[in-house]
Chains A and B, each alone.
Chain A
Amino acid sequence: MSTIVIGLSLGMLLFLLAAGLTLIFGMLGVINFAHGAIYMLGAYVSFEVGKQTGSFLMGVIAAITITGVLGAAVEKLSLRPLYERPHFYQLILTFGLILVLSDVVRYIWGSGYQEVSIPPLWNGTVDMLGSTIPVYRLFVIGLGVVVSTLLYLFLEKSTFGMLVRAASSDAEMVRILGLPVGTIRMAVFSIGCALSGLAGAIAAPLFPVELGMATNTIIDCFIVVILGGLGNIRGAIAASLMVGMVRALGYVYMPSWVDILTFSLLILTLLTRPQGLFFRAARSA
């Protein structure tokens, strides 16, 4: 039974990690390779600010803010001229961003491991279903639910969300109606990056904070995004939970097959439903 809780926590963490990537891909059609690097930057910022202020929350807020601002700047300065060009320009740009961010992080913090502890409020364990579960894992599950709900409400129910979707499906028409498509796109990219930064800050107490974070996580995120149907938020949630559950069960019964199971899921999906398991036509959120 506890496997379900662990699977849920793995899945929700995956969703948090992949949410930024999904949003940016779904709403802008940009494959943000630098997602992992921004996630790493978020972890390092939360480490540094947490250390300076002694507050985990301050660290999280700083991580969101800095990665959000960085996202806005990157969109405005480098991505904007590339929307009309072939996709590979965006790939090269965001890939270059990984190299730059990695070196910035190495320059500031060095190449060793940094440690972020679980904040005292969430530090503890609960015994449930015969297992000892860290409270922080439950917090991650809760946060995943909150973030996914907010993201859904924002895109589906808010006026700005409607504009985002409109700009995504017919940017020209939105522009003709007198709305600032550029600003909308900048906001979307910024929010996506802030989500990546949030993920980094939340993941920091669970994993070693190190340069390898940038590349370790990105594969998992892409798996979720592809399984869920490119850029589909609800699909991403379902896919995250599915992968989380498969991995949790895999670790219990055959740990050396965990990666193979995960990739089999991906391959099967691509063979049978290449548009993603949760893709629905004419629907982008």
Chain B
Amino acid sequence: MTKRLEGKVALVTGCGASGPGWGNGKAMAVLFAREGAKVHGCDIQESAALETQSIVQEEGGVMSVTACDVTQPDEVEKLIKKCVDIHGGIDILVNNVGTARVGGVVEQSLEEWRQVFDINLTSMFLAAKHAIPYMLKQGKGSIINIGSVAGVRDSGVPYVSYTVPGGSRYTFRTSNTLDMENRMALSYMQDKKLKKIYAVTADYQATRDGWEWFKKNATSSGAQIAGEDYTPLGNRDFSSVVDKIAKSDADGVFLALTGSDVVTFLKQAGQVNLSKSKVIFGPVVADETMAAGVGPSALGVNSGMRYHYTINNAANRKFVEAYQKKFNVFPPMAAGEAYDGMSWWLDTVEKTGVWDKEKWVDAFANSVRENSVEGKKTMRACDRQALQVGYWGEVVQGTPPAPALTMKITQVFPENKLFTDCKQ
């Protein structure tokens, strides 16, 4: 780094990441510090701000933080004053805090609209209002306001693709998160006492983040990283990568791949008997559909499972029986997941007894599914994620009527092992 901000003081609002990994505010705070600036950060969630602070301090930078709700005038005034008190001035103000609520003008409530404007715009006004007097006194200063491309043009993607605190009111996830699957994979690695891990990760953000999380936790529990490769999504040939893994001294192979990439990898790995010397596992790398595509070399692969027809409870037995009657096969993972979510939703709607989608959403956000096909599920209102047990399994030889290659549930994780507290 060139230390272009040596001697400057920067204030970044929203400097913590709302989820695992990196957010814009976190990245800016760290980059500013790397460039030599003294950074003052604030976040509504103090723990997130402190995490950013610890990164900066570990790198030898200077950063202080305050918890602050930037929609509150007095809090913002105090925030700016504190920055000046600690660092002796304010040269750069980054108004980074922002949020989004999905839905058009007709669907959205006035309350939500005002909330968004408070967070996105009023916060900028307030921070600038209190920072500019200091900047005028210094005779210079920069204010950087962060907006969204969605304000310039239609982003095409509404903010409904995943559930986060402050995400869409109308989005729920009724099945596994990648995070809980990674936790199961980590626990499996530890149980198997794997010491050296080679990772093959699809080159896109979700799997990269997943692997970063896994790597951090695996190394802190004593495992080493033998290698890591990021292959393009839709990669067609893994023979070079497989060759590298075979030559490494890894005892475990962590796969963060999806769909046909998994099948291609396992097929080509099987052709050089990679699984004879290394344990292959990953958050979601196997079910009956994929195993059928891979053939016998899928045997022994371990993976998180989102649903399985062998889950032993009354609701699932009933569903499997009905599914078999209709389609003459066991329900695959996707079918179970889909049925689980849809039946839960429809039953909740039914129970409200009214034709009012807002009431349905409210009811669903706080609903408990005692008898889901995957066991008990509890919808958590804050991040609209179902709390549930997690299934981990292995590809084994099946005996009829099971498919020739089938998954066997080897471990069931209780929900308190898989979910962290909801950050709101």
Shortest Cβ gap from A63 to chain B (Å) = 19
What's the least CB distance linking A178 to chain B, in Å?
Answer: 47
Shortest distance in angstroms between A95's beta carbon and chain B's nearest beta carbon?
Answer: 20
Q: Interface code B241-253, partner A: CB below 8 Å = 1, 0 otherwise?
A: 1011011000000
List which A125-150 residues lie within 8 A (CB) of chain B: 125, 130-134, 136-137
User: Does B293 make an interface contact (CB < 8 A)?
Assistant: yes
* C-alpha spacing A9/B242, complex, angstroms: 14
B247: chain A residues at CB < 8 Å are 130-131
Whole-angstrom CA separation of A125 from B294 in the bound complex: 18
With A3-B240, A255-B230, A259-B232 already in contact, the answer to whether A115 and B246 are too (CB < 8 A) is no
Whose C-beta in chain A lies nearest to the C-beta of B203? A256
Q: How far, in angstroms, from A205 to B297 measured CA to CA in the complex?
A: 12
State whether B240 touches A252 (Cβ < 8 A). Answer: yes
Query: Which of B107-115, B263-271, B414-422 is the contact stretch?
Result: B263-271
Chain B residue nearest in CB terms to A217: B236
* A163 shortest CB reach to chain B, Å: 37
Chain B nearest Cβ from A2, distance in angstroms: 6
Query: Which chain A residues border B243 with CB–CB below 8 Å?
Result: 2-3, 6, 131-132
CB distance from A10 to the nearest CB of B (A): 6
Residues of B within 8 A of A284 (CB): none
Least Cβ distance of A123 to chain B in Å? 8
B289 at the A/B interface (Cβ < 8 Å)?
Answer: yes
B267 touches A206 (CB 8 A): yes
Across the interface, A113 reaches (CB within 8 A) one of B231, B237, B244, B293, namely B293
| Complex Cα gap A125–B263 (Å) | 20
Whether B246 contacts A131 by the Cβ 8 Å rule is yes
In the complex, the answer to whether A134 meets B272 with C-beta atoms within 8 Å is: yes
Partner of A112, one of B235, B246, B272, B289: B289
- The bracket for how many chain B residues form the interface is 20 to 34
Taken together as a complex, chains A and B put the C-alpha atoms of A130 and B231 apart, in Å, by 23
Q: Which residue of B lies closest to A113 (CB)?
A: B293
Contact with A along B211-237 (1 / 0, CB 8 A): 000000000000000000111101111
Instruction: For B237, list chain A residues within 8 Å (CB).
Output: 10, 206, 247, 251
Closest to A244 in B: B237
Q: Which chain A residues lie closer than 8 Å to B293 at the CB level?
A: 112-115, 208-210
The interface centre, meaning the residue of B247, B295, B296 with most chain A CB atoms within 10 A of its CB, is B295
Q: Which residues on the B side are within 8 Å of A131 (C-beta)?
A: 243, 246-247
Please determine whether B272 and A132 come into contact, CB atoms closer than 8 angstroms. yes
The answer to whether A9 touches B239 (Cβ under 8 A) is yes
Contacts of B239 in A (CB 8 A): 6, 9-10, 137, 251
A101-132 residues with Cβ-Cβ distance < 8 A to B are: 112-115, 117-118, 125, 130-132
Shortest CB–CB separation between residue A56 and chain B, in angstroms? 13
Q: How far is the CB of B24 from chain A (nearest CB, A)?
A: 23
Q: A9-B239, A10-B237, A247-B237 are in contact. Are A258 and B231 (CB under 8 A)?
A: yes
A160 at the B interface (CB under 8 A): no
B324 at the interface (CB under 8 A from A): no
A258–B233 alpha-carbon span in the complex (Å): 11
**A48 near B: Cβ within 8 Å?**
no
Q: Using Cβ atoms and an 8 Å threshold, which residues of chain A touch B294? A: 113, 115, 208
Q: Mark A203-217, 1 if CB is under 8 A from B, else 0.
A: 001111110100011
Write the nearest CB–CB distance from B212 to chain A, whole angstroms. Answer: 14
Q: Give the interface SS of chain B, mostly helix, strand, loop or mixed.
A: helix
Distance (whole angstroms) from the CB of A25 to the closest CB of chain B = 22
Residues of chain A lying within 8 A (CB to CB) of residue B267: 115, 205-208
Most chain A beta-carbon contacts within 10 A, residue among B246, B247, B293: B293
Is B273's beta carbon under 8 Å from chain A? yes
**What are the residues of chain A within 8 A of B238 when measuring CB–CB?**
251
**Closest approach, in angstroms, between the C-beta of A118 and any C-beta of chain B?**
7
Question: Counting CB contacts under 8 A, is A248 at the interface?
Answer: yes
Chain B residues near A212 (CB-CB < 8 A): 260
Q: A251-B241, A252-B244, A256-B230 given as contacts; is B264 within 8 A of A125 (CB)?
A: no
Cα A130 to Cα B244 in complex, Å, equals 11
Q: Does B290 contact A (CB under 8 A)?
A: yes
Nearest neighbor of A250 in chain B, beta-carbon distance: B240
Q: In the complex, what residue of chain A is closest to B234 when comparing beta carbons?
A: A216
B236 and A6 contact, CB distance less than 8 A = no
On chain A, the residues within 8 Å of B290 by CB distance are 113
Interface membership of chain B positions 188-216, coded 1 if the CB is closer than 8 angstroms to chain A and 0 otherwise: 00000000000000010000000000000
- Over the window 246-272 of chain A, the binary record of Cβ atoms lying under 8 Å from chain B Cβ atoms (1 yes, 0 no) is 011001100110110000000000000
* Assembled-state Cα–Cα distance A2/B238 (Å): 14
- Report the minimal beta-carbon distance from A138 to chain B, rounded to whole angstroms: 12
A209–B267 Cα distance when bound, in Å, is: 11
A114–B292 Cα distance when bound, in Å, is 7
Q: Check if A255 sits within 8 Å of B241, measured CB to CB.
A: yes
Chain A: minimal CB distance from B230 (Å) = 4
A139 to B231 alpha-carbon distance, docked (Å) = 26
Contact call A125/B273, Cβ cutoff below 8 A? yes
A251 touches B236 (CB 8 A): no
Query: A3, A133, A251 — which one has the most chain B CB atoms within 10 A of its CB?
Result: A251
Give B residues with C-beta under 8 Å from A: 203, 229-232, 234-241, 243-244, 246-247, 260, 263-264, 267-268, 271-273, 289-290, 292-296
Closest 6 CB pairs of A and B: A113-B293, A251-B240, A208-B263, A256-B230, A134-B271, A115-B295
**A131-B247, A251-B244, A255-B203 are known contacts; what are 5 more A-B pairs with Cβ within 8 Å?**
A133-B272, A206-B267, A206-B268, A212-B260, A251-B229
A–B Cβ pairs within 8 angstroms, 8 of them: A10-B239, A112-B293, A114-B293, A125-B271, A132-B273, A205-B267, A207-B267, A255-B203
